[in-house]
Every structure is written in structure tokens, then in C-alpha cells.
Structure 1
Amino acid sequence: MILRRPWKVAVFGIIGVVVLIVIFAAAFINNIGFHNIKLMYTLGTTDKQIVLMDEKGNYLAEDRSIGLLLQERMSSKGWTYVRQEGANFFFEKGNESTIVTVQQWNHNYVIYHVKDNVVNIAD
């Protein structure tokens, strides 16, 4: 006589699903980076629109009105919009000039790179 234990199958199935979820979560965090996940959380839960990613001049923002947000932020810092060439936005302030490059990071976020980090555009 064969004894069947369906509860063992269910337990192992649940454990397998939990293990897969943990593996996928770890891969997601490893791919994006824990620091960047915290920045994404900050953008999603506060009224901040642009946050500083690093000291090299990289800033993270949600993918909404990319050029308009950048022009407004630079204008508030005293910079004048000159032109756009592809992903590069050119600004001037007095006799200084700078370039801000916009890179699509994923489908919800963009990275602004301010050349030589001449201005802090974070909130």
C-alpha cells in the first residue's frame, strides 16, 4: 500500500516559490543597487523631483517632462537654456557654460549628468 502525503508536496511547493522570490529580489537589488533603490523610494514617497546619486554630477529623476524640469531647475539656479542637441542640453551663466546630458536609466527614471558638477540641481 502506497501512502500519499499531499501536504509534503504543498510545503515543498511553497518553499520553492519563496526561494524563487528571494532569488529574483536579490537579482533585482544586485542589478540596480541598494543605494539606487533608496533613491527611487525617495522620489516615489516625497515631493522631491531630482535627487543626487553621487558626487560626480549624476542626478536621478522620474521620467516626466525631462527637458522642461531640467530647464526650470537650471533657470532657478541662474543658468540660461541655450539649445538642445540630442540628449545634451546646453546652458550658460555669465561667461560660463555647461552641458547636462540626459540618459534614460529604465522605463521610469532618467539620469541627469551635469558636466564637471558645476551646479547642484537636486531638491
Structure 2
Amino acid sequence: MKRWLIFIGVLTVILGVVAFDSKFYYPTLPIDSVSKREVLESLNDTSEDIVKIAEENGYEWYITPMEQGKAHDNLKNLISKNGWHFKQQEGSGYFFEKGDNTLIATTEMWTVNFVIVKIPSDWKE
């Protein structure tokens, strides 16, 4: 009986470590090409305010920490560096203009602490 309790205890600890390491408790991502763990590591491994995490289906995907609303400023700064001018925000959409072109970047709260940003891939042209 004592061996079974030890076995179950060890198995529980191992499963707990594996589950914690996989970041299963985070919500699903809107993209399939990267894992939750990779996304969090990319943000933790840099000093940048906003990090590109993937390019998928004609969009570039970024993540930024929320930090009391700074995520929206991080998005505006990133896009403004490429000559786009912020025009307005409507819901989760941020509208930018460059000459006669309009760019719409959308945001999604991934957790309380992080915002996922979706920008069309051709925005740097």
C-alpha cells in the first residue's frame, strides 16, 4: 500500500511539472504555427516592447505585454516607425493611413497580461 502511494505521488509530481511546462493553462492562440510556450519564451527572451511571433495566412502576428494599457502604445509605435499615421481606433481595430493606403491592425486580449496583434503582411511595403 505504501509503495502505491509513493508511486502515485511521484507520478502526480511528474505530470504536474510536464503540465506546467506546457503552459496548458493559457488560452488557445489564434494561430497554429507556434506553441504557447514558444510565444511566452519569445517575449521573455527580449527587451523589446512588442515581439513578432509568427507569419501565417497573410498576416504578421505580434505579442506585447498589456502593462496598464501600454500595449496599444506599443502597437502604434511599431507601425508608426514604418511611416504609417494613426487615424482612429474602433473596438479592437486600429486604423492607420499612409498616403492613400489604409492599414487595419487588430488586437486580441490573450490573457490579462498580454495582447496579440494581427497586422496584414504587406504593411512594411
Q: How many aligned residue pairs are there?
A: 114
Aligned partners of 1:27, 1:69: CA distance in 2, in Å? 25
Match of 2:7 in 1: 12
- Aligned-pair identity in percent equals 24
Match of 2:91 in 1: 86
- From 111, 122, 125, the equivalent of 1:118 is 122
Q: Give 5+ residue unaligned stretches, structure 2.
A: none
Q: 1:111 to 1:35 in 2, by over 3 A?
A: same
Shift in Å, 1:71: 1.1
Match of 1:28 in 2: 24
Q: TM-score, normalised by structure 2?
A: 0.72
Aligned partners of 1:117, 1:46: CA distance in 2, in Å? 22
Shift in Å, 1:75: 1.1
Secondary structure of 2:112's partner?
Answer: coil
List aligned pairs for 1:19-98, cutoff 5 A: 19-21=14-16, 24-25=19-20, 28=24, 35-48=35-48, 49-55=50-56, 56-64=59-67, 65-98=70-103
Q: TM-score, normalised by structure 1?
A: 0.73
> Which is greater in Rg?
1
Q: Give 5+ residue unaligned stretches, structure 1.
A: none
